[in-house]
Structure 1
Amino acid sequence: MAKYNTLLYYCYTTIADAEQYAADHLQFCKQLGLTGRIIVAGEGLNGTVSGTVEACQAYMDAIKADSRFDSLEFKIDEVDEPSFVKMHVRYKSEIVHSGLRDPHIINPQQKTGKHLEPVEFMEMKDRDDVVILDVRSNYEHSLGKFKNAVTLDIDNFRDFPAMINELAQYKDKKILTYCTGGIKCEKASALLLHEGFTDVYQLHGGIIKYGKEAGGKDFEGKCYVFDNRLSVDVNSVNPEVISKCYNCGAITDKMINCANPECNEHFTQCDACGTKMEGCCSDACMSHPRKRTYDGTGYYVKVPQPVNTKKTKLQPATEI
């Protein structure tokens, strides 16, 4: 039995005292010995935390004891070691950055797509009148996605609203949205409904829950996660690796951060190129004076960095 758990969760709910709640919540998590990253906003809570099984259970018990989080659902992974190094709790304007802040237009507490349980999603996804829509960013769906899914060329979820016109061709279809844990679909499906799409659904619990309850069938590749694991296996039924090495094009499912902290690009890189390039995406990054030591994992504890002026296709993750 694993000694540690990693919890993924979110909840859209009103937190009137969100800024103070964030400060108090950080102290509570530290007292439990947890590590992780949590975002608190007036619209709810979004987090991934990791720690001993006992600490994670105490955390879940405390959260569920608060009536504001009655609808919150924890997705639990057993891990060999904590999935973070430090504990961060931050107060922000949104629990997932979308730029959609008008509650009269987008409010997941009032209106979203119809929630499909994993088995329902699996049974529905291959119908002729259905379109599967991945609402995640480039670096996520390049690593793994559902077979035949429509993917969007976006660097961050906040770019999603600008893509609505490109999706207009699917207005006569049933739209099945999905993301890692479900949080992005809440706003994505709500926006689609607001823009005139009439038959919109979302995968309840996201890719992670689908892997646990439906065996991950037809999810190709791995699922990107926002902790030091970087990716997790999902498909135990018909797995397939679809991602390629950024440098040589070889098939690989290993995703890393560029060792140059001023680039920090997320990309897939095979072990051979990782050794050759010292964990960097380019020769320019290899020669950077602040290049970090590559230990084979490609994961680095975040520290404050100067503004990145390098234009890259794939940007580092900033959302849970």
Structure 2
Amino acid sequence: MQLYNTLSAKEREKLIEDAGKDRLTISFYKYAQIKNLEIFRNHLFIHWDKLEVLGRIYVAHEGINAQLSVPAENFELFKKHLDSIVFLEKVRLNIAIEQDNKSFLKLKVKIREKIVADGLNDASFDVTNKGIHVGAEQFNELIEDPDTILVDMRNHYESEIGHFKNAVTPDVDTFRDSLDIIEKDLAEHKDDKKLVMYCTGGIRCEKASAYYKHKGFKNVYQLEGGIIEYTRQVKAQSLENKFLGKNFVFDHRRGERISSDVISNCHQCGEPCDEHVNCANEACHLLFIQCEKCAEAMGDCCSSECKEVHQLPFEEQKRLRKGKKASNKIFKKGRSEVLRYKK
């Protein structure tokens, strides 16, 4: 039985266009003890492939982290299948604020050591002793409290285009980098301040809150469901939106607009812009912020060198990148020296 993709992204994109069906972009996670990962992984692929689910799903002995899209007409069947799995019954689903039928173009269910790379030894602390979960209304109240320290648990390229006002935004490339930095910077406030954390959908805060409680922080809170759920609750309850700009997302959309504020700039000219792109040179694929004018002038590339390569015949481009791996740059997040106005 086939348990992997055979279609290319372009082939899948055409099928989506031809189908003409509205799709829902969804994310969810759940920490749980999963024993036989291979069986579980295959079970998900078989059932979700039938439902035309596309996305990036990681499974590990500690649980599941899923970002996917499903035809709207199959949503109830998808939810029914989730509910048939004991530890996923009634799991909270974060449904995207802005929908895009092409947010994902392949179904990938992968086995990983962890569902989020945190670099932590889970056996050294109680991962179930988590912080207090708060909804949007209580979160808004907490972050106005002078005794609160609000921390963004995301990476620099995420917070660069959007974050809550007055949040501490660590200048880090990875989640694991932020954990020790935040503890060190806030060490003197373990007893006297409320530590309030947030991330995209909540998964990073689940582990981080338990870690910081283990490290001695007395008052630890986390935004339930992250920015995605916060935005939904703000709209549903007519609350004040305290998030500025865009929420970065890890699919082809790269961002959801939460407010009209543009708090970042084009990495090439410095003009206000919050549109993330990947360099069109396949041998580079660097993630950076680029405005429309620079995109036109640079041929959707991050540098003159990449523009020259991108203009070469396709076979010549393939020859030049043969044997070279640049996938780590896909989310290398605007650190390149070729970007004049990078953060």
Bin the TM-score by the shorter chain.
0.7 to 0.9
Contact 2:287/2:332, CA 8 A, preserved across alignment = no
Q: Which residue of 2 aligns with 1:40?
A: 59
Contact 1:138/1:155, CA 8 A, preserved across alignment = yes
Q: What code does the residue aligned with 2:135 have?
A: E
Report SS of the residue matched to 1:221. strand
Q: 1:94 to 1:315 in 2, by over 3 A?
A: farther
Q: Which residue of 1 aligns with 2:13?
A: none
Distance 1:55 1:180 in 2: 25
1:67 maps to which of 65, 86, 101: 86
1:9 deviates by: 0.6
RMSD: 2.6
Q: Which residue of 2 aligns with 1:54?
A: 73
CA-to-aligned-CA distance 1:245-285 (integer Å, 9 cap, x gap)? 00111111211112233432222111101111122222232
Q: 1:96 to 1:292 in 2, by over 3 A?
A: farther
Q: TM-score, normalised by structure 1?
A: 0.86
- Percent of pairs identical after alignment? 36
Give 1 or 2 for the bigger CA radius of gyration: 2
1:87 maps to which of 100, 103, 107: 107
Distance 2:162 2:132 in 1: 24
The correspondence of residues 116-195 of structure 1 with structure 2, limited to 5 A, is 116-163=134-181, 164-171=183-190, 172-195=192-215
Q: What code does the residue aligned with 1:212 have?
A: R
Contact 2:32/2:63, CA 8 A, preserved across alignment = yes
Please say if 1:252 is aligned against 2:270. Answer: no
- Structure 2 gaps of 5+ residues are 1-20, 315-322, 337-343
2:219 maps to which of 199, 205, 210: 199
Report SS of the residue matched to 1:79. coil
Distance 2:30 2:313 in 1: 36
Distance 1:180 1:290 in 2: 36
Q: 1:122 to 1:20 in 2, by over 3 A?
A: same
- Structure 1 gaps of 5+ residues are 294-303
Report SS of the residue matched to 2:211. helix
CA-to-aligned-CA distance 1:71-94 (integer Å, 9 cap, x gap)? 620012362524111110101011
Q: 1:165 to 1:12 in 2, by over 3 A?
A: same
Distance 1:191 1:251 in 2: 37
Size of the alignment, in residue pairs?
Answer: 300
Structure holding more helix per residue: 2
CA-to-aligned-CA distance 1:231-253 (integer Å, 9 cap, x gap)? 00223xxx411011001111112
CA-to-aligned-CA distance 1:284-313 (integer Å, 9 cap, x gap)? 3223369899xxxxxxxxxx9615698966
Q: 1:82 to 1:309 in 2, by over 3 A?
A: closer
Please say if 1:272 is aligned against 2:272. Answer: no
Contact 1:140/1:224, CA 8 A, preserved across alignment = yes
Q: 1:137 to 1:34 in 2, by over 3 A?
A: same
Q: What code does the residue aligned with 1:32 have?
A: L
Distance 1:209 1:307 in 2: 34
Q: 1:76 to 1:292 in 2, by over 3 A?
A: farther
Report SS of the residue matched to 2:133. strand
2:131 maps to which of 113, 119, 123: 113
Q: 1:56 to 1:291 in 2, by over 3 A?
A: farther
